[in-house]
Structure 1
């Protein structure tokens, strides 16, 4: 009978390997060693990642794993790992799963009890935030907003009272439209920092009030080149930003002393939220007691 130790040794590992976002020297020594040692590399775009492996003089079989085939291919990859092979998952740039494929694969690996090991490295979001000069104690990463203007504005409206620093990714084709919507929804004075071409020769940061940053983009002939990290300062706690007050906490204090309608009215005045919305929430809270 095979021992537990022998069985464990026969099972491979899924490595989540961060790759450079521009400057190839940012690849860690450990990442290079892992890529050289695995049996298979799963990549978002095998042609793109093949150039990286060629640069490293690493010759490994590659599987394409992207948004359109991840659910189909995950099971086969995990079967190979369970037979003893090790697989490295990489994306086109940066850390896999951060606005990139891999979630389905990693979740399924965890469910099967397969060892999943992160090999940390470059991440555009973290790199940009570290140099932005915006608060870093709390931040909310939203990835890409909807491509169409109507959906984008709705998404921004939902976030307009969020007090944490907001982080988005955006394409060069849509960056001016997005910034116009930031100005419209958040106001022209909201502080914004944009990072473009991170770690590359023409790395650029735009910073200042949202309206000023939009003007910088409009005046820069190179603004349409390179992917963007968009960072927006959170809403200020105080006048005009009453949603920073927790509505449930306010209602919890008011409901034991006041009728539902009156409690909702006062809570709306304190938080800036809809009276009708808070009336419904007050009913829910009272029924749950």
Structure 2
């Protein structure tokens, strides 16, 4: 077991500092002070962050810390903190560590007994969640999904059965394909929310069934970064007979799925034993 007191000693430390996701007024007084006083600011994209920091009146020395250099850079930053430096780590927007490599730096700090101090602040997925109208407890956040349809499908199968609100991010140029792929797994009557441009001038929430939202974006080009939220599955599971389940497996196989993956998917969706369905399928 390891205990940490962020204020127990006067050596260097790591501050995890959230930045605005759109509206610059969302920077906190404490966050701005830490960014001004830190010896270094570790940023994903120093150009993007440089513009943001200049807009909120912060001019400080930045170092690049992103997914391509994080494993090599983290030990260097930890050494600076062990020598007494204070480093503020920021994301391009919102909370550091959420969908960025900040966790690698946090892990290295914990190993080296360097204090890690998190600051509260803006995050796109929680901002969307509280305005979605869906139950916020529990929820599952997936970050960015894989780009290929086949790799997305297992995630949508999880979301389809989830008793929690499901949340993920998507870019505007991939949104329509992702929604259409979702509709091959999740019923088009399921309620979803597509939130875009949060805290900005063109903030918008598109609410409706999956089918309605798909049709909306067939007629309106997606613009801005999106947070997609899927309502929990509150329907009671329907108990199907073995012949009905076998028919569902055959339908997935006819669509190109392997028998193994089709049996697994049907078993999960209908909450039956995969092994038992396998036996029933191959002896039918």
Please indicate, yes or no, whether the TM-score normalized by the shorter chain is above 0.5: yes
Which ranges of structure 2 fall in alignment gaps of 5 or more residues? 1-7, 241-265, 279-284
Q: Report the Cα distance in structure 2 between the residues aligned to 1:270 and 1:74, rounded to whole angstroms.
A: 40
Partner of 1:229: 227
Q: Return the alpha-carbon distance in structure 2 between the equivalents of residues 269 and 147 of structure 1.
A: 26
Correspondence 1:75-154 to 2 at 5 A: 75-154=75-154
Query: Which of 1 and 2 has greater Rg?
Result: 1
Per the normalisation by structure 2, the TM-score is 0.81
- 1:192 partnered with 2:192: yes
Counterpart in the other structure of 1:176? 176
1:22-63 CA distance string (max 9 Å, x none): 111111111000001100000000001111221233221111
Give the equivalent residue in structure 1 for 2:271.
Answer: 273
How far 1:184 sits from its partner (Å)? Answer: 1.7
Which deviates the most, 23-32 or 212-221? 212-221
Q: Contact 1:94/1:124 (CA < 8 Å) preserved in 2? A: yes
Cα deviation for residue 235 of structure 1 reads 1.4
What is the alpha-carbon distance in structure 1 between the residues aligned to residue 239 and residue 154 of structure 2?
Answer: 18
Aligned-residue Cα RMSD (Å) equals 2.2
Q: CA deviation at 1:9?
A: 4.0
- Correspondences of 1:25-44 after superposition (within 5 Å): 25-44=25-44
Q: TM-score, normalised by structure 1?
A: 0.80
Q: Distance in 2 between matches of 1:271 and 1:54?
A: 51
Taking structure 1 as reference, are residues 279 and 210 closer, same or farther at Cα in structure 2, changes over 3 Å only?
Answer: closer
What is the alpha-carbon distance in structure 2 between the residues aligned to residue 195 and residue 271 of structure 1? 28
**C-alpha spacing 1:50/1:278, structure 2 compared with 1 (3 Å):** farther
Paired with 1:207 and 1:219, the residues of 2 have a C-alpha distance of: 15
Task: Give the equivalent residue in structure 2 for 1:219.
Answer: 219
Is residue 2:234 matched to residue 1:240? no
Three-state SS of the structure 2 residue aligned to 1:81 is helix
Retained in 1: the 8 A contact 2:268–2:274? no
Q: How far apart are 1:236 and its partner, in Å?
A: 1.8
Partner Cα distance (1:13, 1:269) in 2: 49
Higher mean displacement: 171-180 or 67-76: 171-180
Number of matched pairs: 246
3-state secondary structure, aligned to 2:42: strand
> What SS does structure 2 have at the residue aligned with 1:226?
coil
Q: Give me the whole-angstrom Cα distance separating, in 2, the residues matched to 1:28 and 1:36.
A: 12
The residue that corresponds to 2:249 in the other structure is: none
